[in-house]
Structure 1
C-alpha cells in the first residue's frame, strides 16, 4: 500500500492483477469510527475507473490514479448506481480524460446520465461485456440491490474480481486494502444500524446469480476488499437478508 496524499490519508494498493484499490478515510455523521470511500482502477489498454468518488474528492483520486497511469489515458468511467460517491466527479473525470466515456447500465443512462454527463454514456445491457485489453468486464443488472433502480455490478473475468459496490460495506476509516477475514459480520452490523438496503424480494435470486460467477475477489466500495470464496460470501449475505 502506498500513501498518495499524506494530508487526507488517500492510498492505493493492487488487490488483483492490474486492479488497484484507491482509498480515502473520512468522518461522516452516524459512523463514529469513521468511514472510507474506495475507487477501483483497472489498468490496461483501455483503463477503467469504477466509482469516481465525490466531486470534492476528485483531486485526491486523480493524484492516486496518476501513481499507476496518466489520468488522461482513462477510457471508461464506470459506477454501480447514481450517488455522489459513485459518480459525483464524473464530469471532472470526463474533462481530465478527453477520450473517456461514462459506462453504466441502460437504466442509469436513461434516467440520469444522458442528462447529467457532459458526454453521452456507453449504456450496457444486462450481461454485456467490454474489452479493456488484458481485462474484460461484464455488466450485471441488480436493481435495488442494495438500492437504486439503476444498480448493477461489473465482473472482471480474468481475475474473477466482482466490483460489488455497496455490498459488504464496512464501517471504519482504516482498513487493510485486501483481507481474507470475515467482512459479512462487520457489514451486517453496519447495515442493521444504518439500513441502506431496499430489501427487494428478488435479492436472493440476484445474489445467487452473482455467486454463480464464482468471484475470488470482492472489490467493496467501503472498507477492505476481500479475497476467498466469493460465491460462499454472497450466498451468506443472501441468507442474512432473509432473517
Structure 2
C-alpha cells in the first residue's frame, strides 16, 4: 500500500490509501486530511496499522512532530485508531472533538486529555478557522460531528458519502449516486427521522468542497449534493 498526497484546497491536503482487498473488486480508500496553519490539524488518524503510512505522508508536507491538533468524525478504528501514536509522536498535540465524544470515550481513551468543542464552536489554528458541528447518529454514533474549515469552505465530512473504488483525489462529478450504492451495500448509516434534517443543516453552510473519508473529495455545488443525500436518507426512513 502507498498513501498519496494531494492538496485539495489552499493548505488542505488529502492523504489517501487504497486497499483493494476491502469491498472487492472495487476496493476502498481511507483518507485523512491535513490542515496547515500555525497549529496544524489532522482530521482522521487512520487505523493503528496504517500509522507508518500516514506519518510518511504527513512528512511530505510538514514535520509530523509539529502536529498540534488531532480530530475525527466519530470514535471508530479507521477514524482514530492511531490517535495515541500521534500523541506520542507530537508532544504538543491534543485531541479536539465534540463534548459528547470527550465525555463518553476520549477522556478515557486518549493518552492526553482532549479539548471539547461545543456545537458551533470555532477552533482557530492560525490562518484557518474550523467550526465544529454536532451530527448525532449521522452517520454513526451519537458522538458524531464534522468540521467546517471556513476560510476555504471545506467541509470535513467524515463517513458521509461513503463509496467504494479508487477515484480521483478531487472531482466535480456525481458523488451522490455512488454514496447511495455504498449505503445499499454497507447499510452503515444510523438512519432516523432526524437524519435528513441533520444533513440539510450542513447544506445551509454552502461549503465549496466536501472532504470525504471514503471516496474522492468534491468541488462544486456541495449544498445540492448534501440536500440530495438528505433526501435519500428521508426516503429510506419514510420521512415525507
Classify the TM-score, shorter chain. over 0.9
Unpaired segments of 5 or more residues in structure 2? 236-240
Partner Cα separation in structure 2 for residue 185 and residue 135 of structure 1? 31
Aligned to 2:87: 94
Q: Distance in 2 between matches of 1:27 and 1:195?
A: 20
Partner of 1:238: 230
The CA distance in 2 between the partners of 1:73 and 1:201, in whole Å, is 42
Partner of 1:3: none
User: Counterpart in 2 of 1:13?
Assistant: 6
Q: Is the 8 A contact 1:145 1:200 kept in 2?
A: no
Map 1:176-215 → 2, pairs under 5 A: 176-215=168-207
Give the 3-state SS of the residue equivalent to 2:199 in structure 1. helix
Structure 1 stretches of 4+ with a deviation exceeding 2 A read 27-32
Say yes or no: does 1:219 pair with 2:211. Answer: yes
1:118 to 93, 107, 111: 111
Structure 2 match to 1:129: 122
Q: Deviations over 1:91-130 (max 9, x none)?
A: 0000111000001111111111100110000011100100
Deviations 1:25-55 (A, max 9, x none): 0134544311010000001100000000000
Map 1:46-57 to 2 at 5 A.
46-57=39-50
Segments of 5+ residues of structure 1 without an aligned counterpart are: 1-7
Shift of the 214–84 alpha-carbon distance from structure 1 to 2, 3 Å rule, reads same
Report the number of matched residues: 235
Q: TM-score, normalised by structure 1?
A: 0.95
Moved more, 22-31 or 108-117: 22-31
Distance 1:213 1:93 in 2: 31
* Distance in 1 between residues matched to 2:8 and 2:163, nearest whole Å: 17
